[in-house]
Amino acid sequence: DPFRFYKYALAFSGIVRCFEYKSSSGDSNDSGGECMKKTVKQEYLHDPTLIWNDVMKFTRDRGLVISLSNYGPSKSGFSSSSAVMTTLLALCYRSMSNAPNNADILQLNRLYDLALLAENELGLRSGWNDTYTLMPGIHDFVTQATEDAPKPQFSTLSPQLNTPDICEWFERHLWLIHTGIQRKASGRMNRRHEVYLSRHVDTFPYLVKSIVIHDQIARSLLNRDAKSLGEQLTEYMTYRVAFDPQATNPHLQHLFRHLIDRGLIHGGLLAGAMGGGIAEVIVTEYGLETVEGSANDGDKRLQCRIEVEIERLKQYTTANEQEQPFNNPLFGKIDFRINRHGIQINVVAQSSSTTK
């Protein structure tokens, strides 16, 4: 709901003063070591004119219009909500400063932390990976196991990774396949978090292994080693299923086995996007070879081998011959491009009659 985000961004950034802070003693003016608590000022909820007055005061009676375009699929899990919240907060904070156009506000990690906080205050289950991935380029992002509050470690893998050749290599070999199949929804707490906090002897070791293999995956990407990268993604998924059996299902497992057995992919894993139904696979050179396929209308056309097999999978029938899980309108490749530029903000100069 972009409008809900818009309203909350105004409050979160302080343009609209619908929050007040009180210490545990109840005195809003006492900050002497007391824990300050953020509460909603009820009068703002019951009297919208107070909100309007704040906006008009901030804009010097000119009003506020923000135009935001988000080309990501709605409710996809591809950081779409984080992109909206981060952009709105960037616009709010940008309008509160005297910085020149295209200022470095989007280069500050603090902005992405604030977007994460704002989303979670709204009840969304976004994580650091959702907001930090909005920065341009390909990044190494991991949170190590710790007894304290976790801290994300974020860096660009290599300066060369932002050059067109490595991006093109990654876009060529990494394919996203929308299966149209959603996994069973988890409970209120993310399963990884539950295992992390429980330290259960049967599941925690697999969580640790899934963290350790992260560095191997990053090295394979740096070396452009498609075979190792695919195998490591499969190994990661094996660990994930060991501590979270609901992370997959027999139909999704068949998809990976089918493509691996035919030499079309080196391996892959399931992303959390689209309800967990997005397969990320590393395609082999054999799978990328062009062959003559068959279009639905009977006309022959050139396709990659993996494209032909994805089309054939729509006719796959389960052992009991009662279900064709991949014969759905969503099943197929998702086109994507590496985020080379990040969020773009354009401030349009004010004219005598119009402000944008």
Tens of pLDDT, residues 240-288: 999 988 888 899 999 999 999 999 999 999 986 656 688 999 999 999 9
Which tens digit of pLDDT belongs to each residue from 171-209?
A: 899 999 999 887 665 555 577 778 888 889 999 999 989
Helix (H) or strand (E) holding 153: strand 152-156
Helix (H, G, I), strand (E, B) or coil at 73: coil
pLDDT of residue 16: 87
Does residue 353 have a pLDDT over 50? Answer: no
Q: Considering the entire predicted model, what is its pTM?
A: 0.76
Does residue 30 have a pLDDT over 60? Answer: no
pLDDT of residue 77: 58
**Residue 179 or residue 355, greater confidence:** 179
pLDDT of residue 253: 93
Helix (H) or strand (E) holding 299: none
Place of tokens 């959702």: 130
C-alpha 118/C-alpha 124 separation (Å) is 9
- Give every CB contact of residue 334 below 8 A, 6+ residues apart in sequence: 176, 177, 178, 278
Stretch 294-299: mean pLDDT: 54
Stretch 303-319: mean pLDDT: 93
Alpha helices in 174-304 (DSSP H): 191-198, 204-222, 226-243, 250-261, 273-276, 285-288
C-alpha 3/C-alpha 248 separation (Å) is 34
Stretch 332-346: mean pLDDT: 81
By CB neighbour count within 10 A (0-12 exposed, 13-18 middle, 19+ buried), where does 262 fall?
middle
By CB neighbour count within 10 A (0-12 exposed, 13-18 middle, 19+ buried), where does 64 fall?
middle
pLDDT of residue 37: 60
Helices (H) and strands (E) in the chain, counts: 14, 10
Does residue 227 have a pLDDT over 90? Answer: yes
268-277, 291-300, 335-344: which has the highest mean pLDDT? 335-344
Contact 245, 203 (CB under 8 A): no
Instruction: Write out the two tokens for 236.
Output: 């990661």
C-alpha 183/C-alpha 275 separation (Å) is 6
**Residue 36 or residue 57, greater confidence:** 57
**Residue 21 or residue 323, greater confidence:** 323
pLDDT of residue 102: 46
Confidence of residue 293 (pLDDT cuts 50, 70, 90): low
Between 109-118, 141-150, 197-206, 240-249, the lowest mean confidence (pLDDT) is in 141-150
C-alpha 173/C-alpha 194 separation (Å) is 33
